[in-house]
């Protein structure tokens, strides 16, 4: 199994609070991704990174920011959480940006009340 750790695994917080989710990898892969998964929508890309300090937006990036200061860590921040951001968040990694599959972490279940 790919060495990907997401933390926390579960979180409940209130609307308007900041939230940071962490993805840590031990594979030294260049590419890292944050997705959210909601019923009926499948996995949707929030942000991705193609190297240290190199990040770009995905299809549902509004309300989210990311940072990658080290190869192994990719942080996802909700500056002011809203109830629409209640979801399961998955981090993924891939060695190259080509035909290699992405490997996923175990997910973070985030509830915003």
Partner 1 sequence: GQNIDQPTEMTATEGAIVQINCTYQTSGFNGLFWYQQHAGEAPTFLSYNVLDGLEEKGRFSSFLSRSKGYSYLLLKELQMKDSASYLCAVRLVSGGYNKLIFGAGTRLAVHP
User: Within 5-64, which residues bind partner 1 (CB under 8 A)?
Assistant: 31, 40-45, 48, 50, 56, 58
Q: Which is nearer to partner 1, 44 or 65 (CB)?
A: 44
Could you tell me which of 88, 91, 93, 86 has the C-alpha nearest to residue 76? 91
- Cα–Cα separations (whole angstroms), residue 55 to 9, 20, 40, 65, 104: 24, 16, 27, 10, 18
Find out whether the peptide bond into 73 is cis, omega within 30 degrees of 0.
Answer: no
- Which CB, 9 or 14, lies closer to partner 1? 9
| Nearest approach, Cβ of residue 74 and partner 1 (Å) | 14
Dist CA 29 CA 25 (whole Å): 8
- Does the protein bind partner 1 through residue 89 (CB under 8 A)? no
Nearer to partner 1, 17 or 28 (CB): 28
Specify the residue for token string 């590419």: 31
47, 102, 108, 110: which one binds partner 1 (CB under 8 A): 102
Residues that bind partner 1 (CB under 8 A): 31, 40-45, 48, 50, 56, 58, 90, 94, 96-107
């Amino acid at each position: 199994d790919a060495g990907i750790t997401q933390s926390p695994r579960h979180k409940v917080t209130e609307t308007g609070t900041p939230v940071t989710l962490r993805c840590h990898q031990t594979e030294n892969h260049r590419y890292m991704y944050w997705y959210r998964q909601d019923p009926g929508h499948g996995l949707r890309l929030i942000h991705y990174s193609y190297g240290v300090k190199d990040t770009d937006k995905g299809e549902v990036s509004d309300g989210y920011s990311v940072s990658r200061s080290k190869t192994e860590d990719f942080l996802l921040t909700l500056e002011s959480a809203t109830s629409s951001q209640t979801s399961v968040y998955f981090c993924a990694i891939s060695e190259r940006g080509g035909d290699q599959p992405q490997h996923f972490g175990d997910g973070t279940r985030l509830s915003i009340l």
